[in-house]
A = this chain, B = another copy of it.
Amino acid sequence: MLPPVTGVRLAAVEAGLKYKGRRDLSIMVFDQPAQVAGVFTRSKCASAPVDWCRTHISKGVARAMVVNAGNANAFTGQKGVSAVEKTASAAANAVGCPLDQVFLASTGVIGEPLDVARFCDLLGELAKTAVEDNWAAMADAIMTTDTYAKLATRSFDIKGDTFTINGIAKGSGMIAPDMATMLSFIVTDLPVSAECLQSLLSKYVKTTYNAVTVDSDTSTSDTVLVFATGCGGPGDFLPIFDVSDPRLEVFSEHLADLMQDLALQIVRDGEGASKLIKITVEGARNDVAAATIAKSIANSPLVKTAIAGEDANWGRVVMAIGKAGEEADRDRLSIWFGDVRVALDGARDPGYSEDGAMAVMKKQEIEIRVDLDLDQGSATVWTCDLTHDYIAINADYRS
């Protein structure tokens, strides 16, 4: 259970868009204007709600956030734009704010027109009934193929004043480079400007959401928003406007930690996943090259299926390194599965023990480490294995 964050009220309801018997429409209401920052998909075919958010995020002020699950309102043409405008208008009326202080996210099937009439009527009542102590309801309502709700909270002190950060997330298509959609919403009561939030979000998204959601930058709808209600702390707390303000440090740490927590919750719930895989590449020419190689391993269906089968098939790791296109010297490579070094100087480790490697592969969390022995570049990414259940989930998701 998450504690409340002063300044944000939440509510969720069953709108019956796609799912029956579960809540699929939710709202966050900020009675006082909140500061907001966001990062979005880099897809060339972004959804209508992403376009909307991107247009308004630079103003940095939010009064409401509306999310629906079951329909992504992506690739829906002019109808999609109109659906977004109608939803924003209904939400703006409900909370009494300008249109550009409403943020929107939709997740679910792509290409089906979204009939917003059904839920525009619900938003007024939803905004009224929203309460602070209701994070679990919203975390439930934003799910699609997720098997559990994803929530995290952190609290921290600044000179004796205690503040809170809450976050929720959804996403389960993680296992594929073209995951369905990752959404995450984070709220703190710290008085901090949108500019500071954006700076921290943009920095930490690289090593958290973007390090687990391999190629998540390319889905149509990925959205991470961070809100600051500013309602926490004593009345005389001076709001933080400057990224060099030393008070930001402790918030940064806890924000990064919470983002990491949510990101790993997503990857653990990867569609059909049975194991969490951590891939660390060291000794690359630079950090970008290391990340490219780590993602090449993480994205390889042959690596993922081998791990599902508990097979210490490090030859497939070599193959994935080779295909990444970054500099690698076959004869300097070393590879570890857990604490078992399987390859050394470009060949099987002379002390390789199949039993030792087998024991590692039986675990729920598998760590693969690669040392390229070229330079100082390093990166870590997380993924999950590729199982029969992934096929079962995705072969009939739409129907």
A112 & B348 in contact (Cβ 8 Å cutoff): yes
Chain B residue, CB-CB nearest to A395: B309
A302 at the interface (CB under 8 A from B): yes
Chain B residue, CB-CB nearest to A328: B44
Chain B residue, CB-CB nearest to A347: B77
A319 at the interface (CB under 8 A from B): yes
A184 at the interface (CB under 8 A from B): no
Tell me the chain A residues, 296-320 only, with Cβ under 8 Å from chain B: 299-303, 305-306, 308-309, 311, 313-316, 318-320
Bound CA span A331–B46, Å = 11
Chain B residue, CB-CB nearest to A112: B348
Whether A218 touches B311, Cβ cut-off 8 Å, given contacts A80-B347, A387-B391, is no
Chain B nearest CB from A71 CB (Å) reads: 10
A233 at the interface (CB under 8 A from B): no
Number of copies: 2
Bound CA span A259–B250, Å = 62
Tell me the chain A residues, 145-177 only, with Cβ under 8 Å from chain B: 173, 175-177
Return chain B residues, CB-CB under 8 Å to A322: 41, 43-46, 218-220
Interface residue ranges, A against B (CB under 8 Å): 41, 43-46, 72, 74-80, 109-113, 173, 175-180, 215, 217-220, 299-303, 305-306, 308-309, 311, 313-316, 318-328, 330-331, 333, 342-343, 345-348, 386-388, 390-392, 394-399
